[in-house]
Structure 1
Amino acid sequence: MSSGTDGNLDRVCAAKAIRMVTDVKKAGQDSADTLITKALGVLQEQGLYALVLFCDSRKEEKGAGEIKNNIFNLLKEQKLITNNSPADLTAELSKENGLLSNLDELFFAIFLIEKTLIYARYHAKALKKEGAGQGLKSGGESE
């Protein structure tokens, strides 16, 4: 299996999750936890390729592109893909000898993305609850 520069994958997933929530909220997505939960459900029920298509098809939901960008960056950092553009992630996954054709790396990628989305979901929910209870902005700063 491939691995990036950091051996602590749990920390990598947690850092990516925080970044994902920040990016989704910056994109203007009010309910980041809902969109991230939908993305997680697509990954778990339909797979990685369906998740990328889900993000591509959700143009009305501003944060979907940010979820895709963060997934791309995670896969790139872990050396699971070679492409340099998130826009070409669908082609990168399905190309001959791509990620979808290597089961070990595919399951590793799904594991990492699933863990990241789970962490992102709970991070977004915690921010939402914290913000409602203390008048905090999405980044955790006091108003």
Structure 2
Amino acid sequence: MRGLDKALLAVATVACSTSVQAQVYEPRSCLEAGLDISAPNILKASDGLVHLSVDVTNEFDQVISGIRFDGVLRSPDREVPLHRFWFWEPQIGGGLSAGETMTIEAYIHLDDNAAQFLSGPTSVVAEYGVTNLVDADGHPQFDHPAHFDWDRSRFASFCQ
């Protein structure tokens, strides 16, 4: 959590009930938690939404739920906000033109106990190029990048 978010959480907790002591949840180390993040994959592209699937596993190879992407899609001319959900498939609204490239820049939040986030600064996740605005079925068509990779060194550094 960023400093302002921590302060707002503390204020909100106190405002709701003065008999409850404010709690601020600190990020835990990703490395201590034994977490690993898979490369994001495109599940489908339709109606302007790109669906990504990301698995987060613990040291026992158990999949952990609760992933949120929070950021923007950037192209040379504009920025498009990401939709925010808790789910398996982050939905990213594009509205992109043919030939336009978007870079997904997102905060990565992992929630393994419904109360504590692991979060950090913006990290570039992947780039997509739009080859054709509409495919044969009338859906947007996106390039599938040849190489998908999280910058794991940055990920490890921002959630320690």
- Shorter-chain TM band: 0.3 to 0.5
- Higher-Rg structure is 2
More helix by share: 1
> Comparing both chains, which one has the higher relative contact order based on Cα–Cα distances under 8 Å and sequence gaps of 6 or more?
1
TM-score, normalising length: structure 1: 0.33
